[in-house]
Amino acid sequence: MNGSFGRLTLALVFSLALSCGAFADTVAQTVQKWGLIGPWSLDCSLKPDRNKGTVLDYEIVGDNRVVHRRNFGETTDESEVVTAEISGDGMLNLRVFFPSLKQTREYGLLMQPDGTMRAIYNRNQKQEYSIKDGKFTANGSPTPPQHKCM
Residue pLDDT, tens place only, 3-56: 554 444 444 444 444 434 446 799 999 999 999 999 999 999 999 988 778 899
Is residue 132 within 8 Å of 107, Cβ to Cβ? no
For the chain, where are the alpha helices, taking DSSP H only? Answer: 2-22, 27-34
Mean pLDDT over residues 81-110, rounded? 96
Number of continuous H segments (helices) and E segments (strands) in the chain = 2, 10
Is the predicted pLDDT of residue 76 greater than 90, yes or no? yes
Residue 21 is predicted with a pLDDT of 45
Q: Where are the domains of the chain?
A: 26-148
pLDDT of 119:
98
Q: What is the pLDDT of residue 66?
A: 97
Distance, CA of 65 to CA of 93 (rounded, Å): 16
Cβ-contact 96, 65 below 8 angstroms: no
Mean pLDDT of the chain: 87
Question: What is the model's pTM?
Answer: 0.81
- Average the pLDDT over 55-61 and give the result: 96
